[in-house]
Structure 1
Amino acid sequence: MFLKHVPTGDLVEVIDLPDVINPNSPSIRARSHAGDMIQRPENFLKTELVFPSGEMLPLCWRDAHYYEHEPAA
């Protein structure tokens, strides 16, 4: 899976996919795809990542208490 790192504009390749959907994990291990060389894995904050289309990651992937932000029905 590829995501876009907003501060740099680079695509990053997710290494540990379960961390992406785990709302208790504030960062993920990924490898930047900038330049010709394969980069070393590093941690990226989920708050700085979006889908390549520019769409934000779902709130339920970023915040373990996402249901508390929903308006009461």
Structure 2
Amino acid sequence: MLLQEKESGNLVEILDIEALFSPKETTVKGQYQVGEEEQDPESFEKRKLNFPSGESLPQCWIDTNYKSA
């Protein structure tokens, strides 16, 4: 799955989909999709990512208390 880093606009390939869907995880492993060579995996804060369309990630992926809000 590709997401976009809000600050830079760079695309990030998410390597751990289960961590992305889990509201208990605040970070997710991914790789920048820039240049011709594959980038090293890094940890990304989920709150700093969104969909390439500009839409925010669902609250249930980010906030463990999303039902009580």
1:37 aligns to 2:37 (yes or no) = yes
Q: TM-score, normalised by structure 1?
A: 0.91
Q: State, as a whole percentage, how many aligned pairs show the same letter.
A: 38
Q: TM-score, normalised by structure 2?
A: 0.96
1:23 aligns to 2:26 (yes or no) = no
Q: Secondary structure at 2:67's aligned position in 1?
A: helix
- Give the count of matched residue pairs: 69
- Runs of at least 4 residues off by over 4 Å: none
Q: Secondary structure at 1:57's aligned position in 2?
A: coil
Q: CA RMSD in A?
A: 0.6
- Partner in structure 2 of residue 51 of structure 1: 51
Give matches, 1:5-20, under 5 Å.
Answer: 5-20=5-20
Q: Which has the larger radius of gyration?
A: 1
